Amino acid sequence: MGAAGLAFLAADSAGASTTPRTAAPGTRRRAVLHPSPSPTPTPTPTPRPAPWTPARLTAVKPKTPIRDLKELVPPPPDRTIALTIDDGPNPTWTPKVLDLLAEHQVHATFFIIGEQVKEYPRLTRRIAAAGHQICNHTMTHPLSFDGLSRKRLKKEIGEAHDLISQTSGIVPTFFRAPGGAWSPAVLDVIGEHGMLPIDWAVDPRDWARPGVGRIRKTLMGSESGNILLVHDGGGDRSQTVRALRGAIPRLKKRGLTFVAL
């Protein structure tokens, strides 16, 4: 190496010219830095259609909460039921429910809460990746939902709608009011977002933890066209998981097929 050492070029503060500088003996030429590639744009969320039709579902009475699959247009095939699961995602119980559904090859409909989505985005995406339907169950699950002001309703429904869409990649096309507390204002606001109101026909009140046997017995009373309600959030759901483990295969053995909305 000559006495002058190694020279390398460095950009001036304006970035418009370079001047030679002398490097200390034994140093290497500075690597050229290249700009990082632009991040992949986030895909535009799209609705997820029901498995029995490529088109978006409508309802016989869109201003009335739907309690039976036969109220949908087009209706699903005969001998079908829909398992709906509320109040998640929950880091303890949602994975157990997902594993159980995968074991029995059942697709369900998850009505998820915005605050839970914000806290557990990866779990939200796991639900979607497993092929389940993703739906709106408000941002914070407020009680007495039918008594809220229109401004609060817009906030609860709209913020959850946007957050669920961007996190899961699925635009919610169905909405369930907390506690089934509906009002004309609630129906108007969800209509602005293109969502249908979904209630239920079979409710084992698993949130109250009445016992595995009682939850399972109620679920076993399901008939073709029924929408079933259980929960994967809001508390200890061990009874729910155990009841589903017994009820799902028995219902399938009766010739009923589970469909996602």
Active site residues: 86, 231
Residues 6 or more apart from 228 whose CB is under 8 A from it?
81, 82, 83, 84, 200, 201, 202, 219, 222
* Measured distance CA(261)–CA(133) in Å, rounded: 7
* Measured distance CA(68)–CA(81) in Å, rounded: 9
Assign 59 to helix, strand or coil. strand
What are residue 80's DSSP bridge partners? Answer: 257
What are residue 229's DSSP bridge partners? Answer: 84
Alpha helices per DSSP H over the chain: 93-103, 114-119, 121-129, 150-168, 184-192, 212-220, 238-253
Q: Could you give the C-alpha distances from 193 to 18, 38, 105, in angstroms and in order?
A: 57, 32, 31
Among candidates 99, 81, 84, which has minimal Cα distance to 245? 99
